[in-house]
Amino acid sequence: MRRAARGGRVALPGDPAQPVQVVDVRDLARLVVRLLTDDRPGAFQAVGPAEPVTLGGLIETCARVAGSRIEIVPVPRAAAPAAFPLVRDNWATQQRSPARARAAGLPATPLEVTAADVLAWDRARGEPPLGCGFTDEEERAVLERWGGGGAG
Protein backbone atom coordinates (compact mmCIF):
# COMPACT_ATOMS: atom_id res chain seq x y z
CA MET A 1 0.00 0.00 0.00
CA ARG A 2 2.66 2.44 1.07
CA ARG A 3 4.76 1.87 -2.04
CA ALA A 4 1.80 2.31 -4.40
CA ALA A 5 0.81 5.49 -2.58
CA ARG A 6 4.22 7.01 -3.34
CA GLY A 7 3.61 6.55 -7.07
CA GLY A 8 6.08 6.15 -9.90
CA ARG A 9 7.65 2.97 -11.19
CA VAL A 10 6.93 -0.04 -8.96
CA ALA A 11 9.13 -3.14 -9.28
CA LEU A 12 7.00 -6.29 -9.12
CA PRO A 13 8.95 -9.55 -8.86
CA GLY A 14 6.08 -11.67 -10.04
CA ASP A 15 3.31 -11.95 -12.57
CA PRO A 16 0.91 -8.96 -12.39
CA ALA A 17 -1.84 -11.38 -13.51
CA GLN A 18 -1.33 -13.60 -10.45
CA PRO A 19 -4.62 -13.81 -8.52
CA VAL A 20 -4.40 -12.75 -4.89
CA GLN A 21 -6.77 -13.32 -2.03
CA VAL A 22 -6.72 -10.72 0.71
CA VAL A 23 -9.29 -10.19 3.43
CA ASP A 24 -10.06 -7.14 5.51
CA VAL A 25 -9.24 -8.17 9.06
CA ARG A 26 -12.41 -6.44 10.24
CA ASP A 27 -14.44 -8.79 8.02
CA LEU A 28 -12.55 -11.75 9.45
CA ALA A 29 -13.25 -10.55 13.01
CA ARG A 30 -16.96 -10.19 12.23
CA LEU A 31 -17.05 -13.73 10.86
CA VAL A 32 -15.29 -15.15 13.92
CA VAL A 33 -17.70 -13.38 16.28
CA ARG A 34 -20.65 -14.65 14.28
CA LEU A 35 -19.33 -18.22 14.26
CA LEU A 36 -18.75 -18.08 18.03
CA THR A 37 -22.16 -16.55 18.67
CA ASP A 38 -23.85 -19.20 16.52
CA ASP A 39 -21.67 -21.95 18.08
CA ARG A 40 -20.80 -23.03 14.57
CA PRO A 41 -17.64 -25.17 14.39
CA GLY A 42 -15.72 -26.07 11.26
CA ALA A 43 -13.17 -24.87 8.76
CA PHE A 44 -13.87 -21.72 6.78
CA GLN A 45 -11.70 -20.23 4.04
CA ALA A 46 -12.05 -16.58 4.98
CA VAL A 47 -10.52 -15.02 1.89
CA GLY A 48 -11.42 -12.11 -0.29
CA PRO A 49 -12.00 -9.72 -1.76
CA ALA A 50 -15.53 -10.46 -2.97
CA GLU A 51 -14.50 -9.70 -6.56
CA PRO A 52 -11.40 -11.52 -7.85
CA VAL A 53 -8.31 -9.35 -8.07
CA THR A 54 -4.82 -9.80 -9.47
CA LEU A 55 -1.57 -8.73 -7.87
CA GLY A 56 -1.30 -5.93 -10.43
CA GLY A 57 -4.91 -4.94 -9.80
CA LEU A 58 -4.30 -4.80 -6.05
CA ILE A 59 -1.31 -2.48 -6.53
CA GLU A 60 -3.29 -0.31 -8.96
CA THR A 61 -6.20 -0.10 -6.51
CA CYS A 62 -3.85 1.00 -3.74
CA ALA A 63 -2.38 3.70 -5.99
CA ARG A 64 -5.82 4.89 -7.11
CA VAL A 65 -7.16 5.34 -3.57
CA ALA A 66 -3.96 7.20 -2.64
CA GLY A 67 -4.36 9.52 -5.62
CA SER A 68 -1.06 8.47 -7.14
CA ARG A 69 -0.02 7.21 -10.55
CA ILE A 70 2.13 4.14 -10.96
CA GLU A 71 3.78 2.04 -13.60
CA ILE A 72 4.14 -1.62 -12.65
CA VAL A 73 7.49 -2.96 -13.88
CA PRO A 74 7.67 -6.77 -13.82
CA VAL A 75 11.12 -7.97 -12.76
CA PRO A 76 12.45 -11.51 -12.28
CA ARG A 77 11.26 -13.26 -9.12
CA ALA A 78 14.90 -14.00 -8.26
CA ALA A 79 15.53 -10.22 -7.99
CA ALA A 80 13.45 -10.00 -4.80
CA PRO A 81 13.99 -11.06 -1.20
CA ALA A 82 12.83 -14.63 -0.52
CA ALA A 83 9.77 -13.61 1.52
CA PHE A 84 8.37 -11.00 -0.84
CA PRO A 85 4.74 -10.21 0.13
CA LEU A 86 1.97 -11.96 -1.85
CA VAL A 87 4.27 -13.23 -4.63
CA ARG A 88 4.02 -17.00 -4.85
CA ASP A 89 5.26 -19.74 -7.12
CA ASN A 90 2.51 -22.13 -8.22
CA TRP A 91 -0.09 -19.52 -7.31
CA ALA A 92 -2.88 -21.48 -8.96
CA THR A 93 -2.60 -24.05 -6.17
CA GLN A 94 -2.82 -21.32 -3.52
CA GLN A 95 -6.40 -20.24 -4.31
CA ARG A 96 -9.20 -21.07 -1.87
CA SER A 97 -12.98 -20.87 -2.17
CA PRO A 98 -14.62 -18.47 0.28
CA ALA A 99 -18.11 -19.90 -0.43
CA ARG A 100 -18.58 -21.56 2.98
CA ALA A 101 -17.31 -18.49 4.84
CA ARG A 102 -19.55 -16.18 2.78
CA ALA A 103 -22.55 -18.41 3.45
CA ALA A 104 -21.73 -18.24 7.16
CA GLY A 105 -21.73 -14.45 7.06
CA LEU A 106 -18.23 -13.31 6.02
CA PRO A 107 -18.74 -9.66 5.03
CA ALA A 108 -17.13 -8.20 1.92
CA THR A 109 -15.68 -4.76 2.51
CA PRO A 110 -14.81 -3.29 -0.89
CA LEU A 111 -11.08 -3.45 -1.64
CA GLU A 112 -10.99 0.33 -2.17
CA VAL A 113 -12.32 0.91 1.36
CA THR A 114 -9.82 -1.50 2.89
CA ALA A 115 -6.93 0.08 0.97
CA ALA A 116 -7.92 3.62 1.97
CA ASP A 117 -8.30 2.63 5.62
CA VAL A 118 -4.95 0.80 5.68
CA LEU A 119 -3.23 3.83 4.14
CA ALA A 120 -4.79 6.16 6.73
CA TRP A 121 -3.82 3.80 9.57
CA ASP A 122 -0.24 3.46 8.32
CA ARG A 123 0.16 7.22 8.00
CA ALA A 124 -1.35 7.80 11.46
CA ARG A 125 1.20 5.46 13.02
CA GLY A 126 4.07 7.28 11.32
CA GLU A 127 4.85 4.69 8.63
CA PRO A 128 7.33 2.61 10.66
CA PRO A 129 9.90 0.48 8.81
CA LEU A 130 8.51 -2.62 7.12
CA GLY A 131 9.97 -6.06 7.72
CA CYS A 132 9.63 -7.42 4.20
CA GLY A 133 9.66 -6.34 0.58
CA PHE A 134 12.15 -4.08 -1.16
CA THR A 135 13.88 -1.23 0.60
CA ASP A 136 13.93 1.97 -1.47
CA GLU A 137 17.56 1.32 -2.38
CA GLU A 138 16.89 -2.29 -3.40
CA GLU A 139 13.97 -1.27 -5.60
CA ARG A 140 16.02 1.44 -7.31
CA ALA A 141 18.79 -1.08 -8.04
CA VAL A 142 16.33 -3.68 -9.36
CA LEU A 143 14.65 -1.12 -11.61
CA GLU A 144 18.01 0.06 -12.92
CA ARG A 145 19.03 -3.49 -13.71
CA TRP A 146 15.77 -4.97 -14.97
CA GLY A 147 13.38 -2.10 -15.60
CA GLY A 148 15.39 0.39 -17.59
CA GLY A 149 15.44 3.22 -15.02
CA GLY A 150 15.07 4.42 -11.45
CA ALA A 151 12.12 4.23 -9.08
CA GLY A 152 9.55 7.01 -9.02
Residue 53 lies in a domain: yes
Expressed as residue numbers, the domain containing 129 is: 2-146
Residue 151 lies in a domain: no
Residue 59 lies in a domain: yes
pLDDT of residue 151: 46
pLDDT tens across 67-77, in order?
999 999 999 88
Residue 142 lies in a domain: yes
Residue 152 lies in a domain: no
Residues 6+ apart with CB under 8 A from 139: 3, 10, 11, 151
Domain count, the chain: 1
Residue 82 pLDDT class (50, 70, 90 cuts): confident
Residue 95 lies in a domain: yes
Among the residue ranges 27-41, 59-73, 86-100, the one predicted with the least confidence is 86-100
What's the predicted TM-score (pTM) here?
Answer: 0.86
Residue 130 to residues 25, 77, 78, 92, 136, Cα–Cα distance (Å): 19, 20, 20, 27, 11
pLDDT tens across 32-48, in order?
999 999 999 999 999 98
